């Protein structure tokens, strides 16, 4: 089945995002639960990826400056990795950020094991590796327009 990505529209959609994030980050990657939910939940735009009617992935973005969007909390259930759900999520969020018209840079913090995935989608790793919630990351950026 084709992966469908949509912005969350209801509290139920958002709850599905939180469940996916909990399963991926807290249960699978041992991120502390009190770190996973943060102060940006209400000011972020959340997305849900569905395989048919089954929620399989999530991501969010928030604006971190007048011309910069930041993709965060990108998570795909392990049994759905490699199905195109992650690619569909990132492409959808990037397209929505581009559609805002004033975004020049899209950034994220990518887990180092996923850097090749992000590079295939047009991001470039910058700066050194660092630990975030006990997991190695690097900052990644995409320049929009130009």
CA distances from 73 to 2, 3, 102, 134 (A): 22, 18, 23, 15
Task: Give the architecture-level CATH label for domain 3-143.
Answer: 3-Layer(aba) Sandwich (3.40)
Helix (H, G, I), strand (E, B) or coil at 146: coil
pLDDT tens digits, residue range 86-140? 999 999 999 999 999 899 999 999 999 999 999 999 999 999 999 998 899 999 9
Report d(CA 56, CA 52) in Å as an integer.
Answer: 10
Band of pLDDT at residue 42, cut at 50, 70 and 90: very high
Give the per-residue pLDDT at 134.
87
Name the E strands within 17-134. 45-51, 54-63, 68-76, 105-111, 124-132
Give the DSSP H/E element, type plus range, for residue 136: strand 135-143
Residue 146 reports pLDDT greater than 60: no
Helix ranges restricted to H, 22-109 = 33-36, 85-99
Assess contact for 116 and 124: CB atoms under 8 A: no
Sign of CA dihedral 141, 58, 116, 131: positive
Give the tens place of pLDDT for each residue, 46-77: 999 999 999 999 999 999 988 999 999 999 99
- What percentage of residues in the chain have a pLDDT greater than 70? 99
Domain assignments of the chain as residue spans, ordered by start = 3-143
């Amino acid at each position: 089945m084709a992966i469908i990505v949509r912005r969350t529209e209801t509290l139920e959609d958002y709850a599905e995002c939180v469940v996916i994030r909990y399963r991926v980050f807290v249960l699978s990657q041992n991120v502390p639960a009190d770190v996973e939910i943060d102060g940006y939940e209400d000011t972020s735009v959340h997305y849900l990826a569905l395989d048919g009617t089954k929620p399989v992935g999530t991501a969010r973005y928030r604006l971190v400056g007048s011309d910069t969007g930041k993709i965060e909390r990108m998570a795909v259930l392990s049994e759905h990795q490699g199905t195109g759900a992650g690619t569909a999520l990132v492409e959808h969020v990037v397209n929505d950020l581009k559609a805002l018209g004033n975004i020049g840079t899209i950034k994220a913090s990518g887990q180092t094991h996923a850097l090749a995935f992000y590079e295939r989608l047009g991001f470039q790793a910058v700066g050194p590796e660092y630990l975030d919630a006990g997991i190695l990351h690097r900052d990644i950026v995409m320049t929009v327009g130009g």
